[in-house]
């Protein structure tokens, strides 16, 4: 490497902007050239001088405040018009996200208004169903007679559940029970299917419009919930899907 | 998703960098404040064209251009721009060790020598030595090719050394 080349690259070397090969070439040249080494040291000294003595003018506080104010005012007067046109896709993305969030919130709220679509509710009725089997507390009123079961609820819940006898269809009524679901007292009717039990939870709906069946499975139990005639229903059982669907169909008719 | 920074996020951390550059180029506080204020208004206007990346280099470019317009408008060319060609002959002298001589330089002398430099030398030194900008950032701020950054820095430094010598020796 010649002295001229070295002088040309010297500043890149000092500023750490050279590639490895040029760095090495320069260092090799410094080892054998006194003049270039002197020049290099002079540049280093100048740099040190600058670092030590050059004044860095920090912005006065009053200027900082004024600029923050200017920016704030400008944002109010002209809310990012350029940004809007140039960054339309970002705005679009933001709008989409806003829309999706709104949709999500709406869905969740709607879910709360319609308990039968609420996973938490399904979980709750399954728990009740399991508990009723576990503690041998299936029914408070043991009767296969709908005319015995229905009046039993009088004075115990603030509504009159419809109690159907489905014995001819193979779902004999087993009894009735008071239970507690969705933060309120509900009527639980117990039907039998062969050796299995079906718990049918009934309570007044918070949302009076009819809702179609919402089916889900929790811990292996099938849950079907729906709303009809201002009443919420949830049927829970470990019978086959087809049996439970048939049961729900019969109740709804 | 790509979270694009706001104007405030991009520019407000660099008010001092903006002021420092403007202060060195205009050489007084009052003008520097005016320039920075104006530069921020311009930056607001052009923010739609900001493609991300280095906010400081982007802002300093606007500050620098605002300075130039401002100096032309208010000082009618007092900005003392010496053409670079004029200096070509200066560089070939035999180098002498200068570390000892430079020890005599204090802040005041350095400031004076800096202020005597042309705008283009002063600005490149400020960006490199005080802002620690890389050659790439400097090339963005000054709108010059990367290769020019190094040669301009070389000339600026050599010019500064010359000025410093002049500041110390009575015959200069």
Q: Which domains does chain A have, with CATH numbers?
A: 3-53 (no CATH), 115-252 (3.30.200.100)
**Residue A58: its pLDDT value, please?**
94
| pLDDT > 60? residue A218 | yes
Residues 100-119 of B with CB under 8 A from A: 102, 105-107, 110-111, 114
The nearest CA of chain B is from the CA of A243 a distance in Å of 48
Considering only CB atoms, B20 lies closest to which of A10, A57, A93, namely A57
Closest to A47 measured CA to CA, from A78, A11, A72: A11
A155: helix, coil or strand?
coil
- Cα(B56)–Cα(B47) distance, integer angstroms: 13
A with B: how many residue pairs have Cβ under 8 Å apart?
Answer: 132
**Residue B1: its pLDDT value, please?**
43
Is B49 in Cβ contact with A8 (below 8 Å)? no
The DSSP code sequence of chain B is: ---PPPHHHHHGGGHHHHHHHHHHHH-SHHHHHHHHHHHHHHHHHHGGG--SS-HHHHHHHHHHHHHHHHHHHHHTTTT----GGGGGGGGGSPP---HHHHHT--HHHHHHHHHHS-HHHHHHHIIIIIS---HHHHHHHHT--HHHHHHHHHHHHHHHHHHHHHHHSTT-
Residue of B nearest to A12 (CA): B150
State the average pLDDT over residues A62-77.
Answer: 85
State the average pLDDT over residues A28-44.
Answer: 92
| pLDDT > 70? residue A146 | yes
Residues 66-125 of A with CB under 8 A from B: 66-68, 70-71, 74-75, 80, 82-83, 85-87, 90, 93, 97
Structure tokens belonging to residue A172: 């004999």
If you count them, how many residues does chain A have?
Answer: 253
Q: Cα dist. A92→A25, A80, A84, A97, A108 in Å?
A: 53, 15, 10, 9, 24
A135 — pLDDT class (breaks 50, 70, 90):
low
| pLDDT > 50? residue A149 | yes
The nearest CA of chain A is from the CA of B73 a distance in Å of 22
**Residue A182: its pLDDT value, please?**
80
| pLDDT > 50? residue A133 | yes
Structure tokens belonging to residue B134: 């890389």
Is A8 in Cβ contact with B151 (below 8 Å)? yes
Residue of A nearest to B136 (CA): A17
**Residue A131: its pLDDT value, please?**
81
pLDDT less than 50: residues of chain B: 1, 79, 82-92, 172
**Residue A114: its pLDDT value, please?**
52
pTM above 0.90, yes or no: no
User: Which DSSP helix (H) or strand (E) runs through A174?
Assistant: strand A173-181
pLDDT tens digits, residue range B72-113? Answer: 888 655 545 544 444 444 444 566 777 777 777 888 889 999
What average pLDDT does chain A have? 85
Contact criterion met (CB below 8 Å) for A179 and A161: no
- Cα(A70)–Cα(B33) distance, integer angstroms: 13
Domains, in order of start, for chain B: 7-75 (1.10.1740.10), 84-168 (1.10.10.10)
**Residue A96: its pLDDT value, please?**
83
- Cα(A66)–Cα(B12) distance, integer angstroms: 11
Instruction: Supply the DSSP symbol for A136.
Output: T
A37 — pLDDT class (breaks 50, 70, 90):
very high
**Residue A165: its pLDDT value, please?**
87
Those residues with Cβ within 8 angstroms of residue A124's Cβ, 6 or more apart along the chain or in another chain: A181, A182
State the average pLDDT over residues A106-135.
Answer: 72
CA atoms within a 13 Å half-sphere pointing along the CA-CB vector of B141: 28
Residues in chain B within 8 Å Cβ distance of A34 = none
Closest to B61 measured CA to CA, from A16, B51, A62: B51
At CA A77, angle to CA B66 and CA B3, rounded to 5?
75
State the average pLDDT over residues A103-123.
Answer: 68
Q: Which of A37, A53, A93 to mutate to test the interface with B (most CBs of B within 10 A)?
A: A53
Is B23 in Cβ contact with A57 (below 8 Å)? yes
Q: Which of B32, B37, B129, B132 to mutate to test the interface with A (most CBs of A within 10 A)?
A: B129
Is A66 in Cβ contact with B37 (below 8 Å)? yes
State the average pLDDT over residues A105-117.
Answer: 62
Considering only CB atoms, A46 lies closest to which of B12, B15, B161, namely B161
Is B18 in Cβ contact with A59 (below 8 Å)? yes
Q: Is A46 part of the contact surface with chain B (CB cutoff 8 Å)?
A: yes
Q: Which of A7, A23, A56 to mutate to test the interface with B (most CBs of B within 10 A)?
A: A56
Task: Tell me the ipTM for this assembly.
Answer: 0.85
State the average pLDDT over residues A65-71.
Answer: 89
Residues 25-54 of B with CB under 8 A from A: 29, 32-33, 36-37, 40-41, 44-49
């Amino acid at each position: 490497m010649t002295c001229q080349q070295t002088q040309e690259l010297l500043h890149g070397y000092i500023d750490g902007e050279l590639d490895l090969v040029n760095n090495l070439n320069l260092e090799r040249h410094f080892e054998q050239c006194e003049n270039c080494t002197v020049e290099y040291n002079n540049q280093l000294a100048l740099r040190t001088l600058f670092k030590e003595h050059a004044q860095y003018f920090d912005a006065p506080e009053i200027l900082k405040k004024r600029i923050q104010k200017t920016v704030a005012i400008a944002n109010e007067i002209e809310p990012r018009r350029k940004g809007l046109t140039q960054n339309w896709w970002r705005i679009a993305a933001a709008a989409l996200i806003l829309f999706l969030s709104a949709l999500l919130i709406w869905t969740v709220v709607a879910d709360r208004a319609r308990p039968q679509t609420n996973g938490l509710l399904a979980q709750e009725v399954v728990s009740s169903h399991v508990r009723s089997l576990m503690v041998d507390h299936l029914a408070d009123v043991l009767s296969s007679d709908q005319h015995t079961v229905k009046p039993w609820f009088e004075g115990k819940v603030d509504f009159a559940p419809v109690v159907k006898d489905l014995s001819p269809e193979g779902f004999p009524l087993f009894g009735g029970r008071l239970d507690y679901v969705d933060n309120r007292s509900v009527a639980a009717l117990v039907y039998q299917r062969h050796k299995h039990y079906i718990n049918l939870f009934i309570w007044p709906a918070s949302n009076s419009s009819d809702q179609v069946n919402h089916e889900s499975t929790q811990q292996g139990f099938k849950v079907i919930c729906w709303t009809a005639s201002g009443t919420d229903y949830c049927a829970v059982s470990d019978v086959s899907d087809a049996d439970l669907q048939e049961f729900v169909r019969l109740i709804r008719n | 998703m790509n979270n694009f920074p706001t104007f405030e996020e991009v520019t407000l951390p660099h008010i001092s960098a903006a002021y420092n550059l403007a202060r060195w180029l205009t050489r007084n506080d009052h003008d520097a404040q005016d320039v920075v204020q104006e530069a921020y208004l311009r930056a607001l206007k052009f923010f739609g064209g900001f493609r991300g990346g280095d906010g400081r280099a982007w802002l300093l470019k606007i500050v620098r251009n605002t300075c130039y317009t401002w100096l032309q408008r208010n000082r009618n060319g007092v900005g003392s721009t010496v053409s670079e060609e004029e200096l070509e002959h200066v560089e070939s002298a035999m180098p002498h060790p200068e570390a000892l001589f430079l020890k005599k330089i204090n802040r005041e002398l350095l400031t004076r020598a800096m202020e005597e430099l042309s705008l283009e030398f002063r600005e490149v030194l400020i960006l490199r030595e005080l802002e620690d900008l890389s050659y790439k950032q400097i090339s963005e701020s000054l709108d010059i090719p990367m290769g020019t950054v190094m040669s301009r820095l070389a000339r600026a430094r050599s010019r500064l050394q010359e000025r410093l010598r002049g500041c110390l020796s009575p015959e200069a």
